[in-house]
Structure 1
Amino acid sequence: MSPTTIAYGYLAFAIVCEVIGTTFLVKSEQFTRLMPTLIMFVLYACSFYALTQTLKAVPLGIAYALWGGLGIVLTSIVGMVLFKQHLDTAAVIGIAMIVSGVVVMNLFSTAVGH
C-alpha cells in the first residue's frame, strides 16, 4: 500500500476515535463518571496519535479539515440517533457547507495528496 493510502486509513481511524470519544464525553457527565471519562481520554489519545501518523503523508491543513469536518458531521448524526438531539435548518445548512468544503478541497485542491 502507498504511504498516502495508509495515511488516509489512519485519518479514518482518527475520525472514528474522535467521534466515539466525544460520545463518551457526553456520557462522562462533566467528568463525574469515571469509566466514560477514562474511555473518552483513551479514545482522544488514539485519535490524536492517528492524526499525527496521518501527517506523514497528508498536509496539516487538509488532514485537520477532513478530521474536523467529518467529525462534525458524524458527531451530529450520533447526537441525533443516540441522544435524540434535533438539528434545525440552519444547522443542516451549515453542516452541508462543511461537507461541500471538504468535497471542493478533495476534488480541486492541489494541496491534497492523493
Structure 2
Amino acid sequence: MICYIYLFIAILAEVFSTSLLKISEGFTKIFPSILIILGYIVSSFFLSLALKDIPIGIAYSSWSGFGIVFVTISGYFLYNQKINLIEIFGIILIITGVLIINIY
C-alpha cells in the first residue's frame, strides 16, 4: 500500500513542477526554475520507490494519466485556461483508461 502513497507523491510533485513551467518564462526566472527542478527530482525519486512494488506500465500510466488530469485542472484554476466539453470527455477517457489498467 505504501507504494501507492509514493506514486501519489510522485504525481503531485510532477504536477507542481509542470504547473510552474509557465511562470518560469522559459527558465529565465530563477526561483520558479529551481522549484521545477526540485519538483521533478522529488517526482522521479518517489516514482522509483513506487516501482519497487508496482509494475512499470501501471505506475507510469497512472503517473502520466493523472498528471495530465491534475495539470489540466491546475491550468484552469491558476491560469484561467478554459476546459470545454470535448476536453472533459477526453479527461474522463484518460481516467477510465488508468482505472482499467490498474484493475486488470
TM-score band (shorter)? over 0.9
Displaced runs of 4 or more, over 3 A: none
Tell me how large the CA RMSD over aligned residues is: 0.9
- Cα distance in 2, alignment partners of residues 69 and 15 from structure 1: 9
Q: Aligned residue for 1:96?
A: 92
Question: Aligned match of 1:55 in 51, 58, 61?
Answer: 51
Post-superposition shift, 1:90? 2.1
Segments of structure 1 that go 5 or more residues without pairing to the other structure are: 110-114
Which structure has the bigger radius of gyration? 1
- Cα distance in 2, alignment partners of residues 15 and 69 from structure 1: 9
- Cα distance in 2, alignment partners of residues 53 and 13 from structure 1: 10
Task: Calculate the TM-score normalised by the size of structure 1.
Answer: 0.87
Question: Aligned match of 2:73 in 56, 72, 77?
Answer: 77
Q: Aligned residue for 1:28?
A: 24
1:10 pairs with 2:6: yes
Task: Calculate the TM-score normalised by the size of structure 2.
Answer: 0.95
Segments of structure 2 that go 5 or more residues without pairing to the other structure are: none
Identity of aligned residues (%): 38
- Cα distance in 2, alignment partners of residues 23 and 37 from structure 1: 11
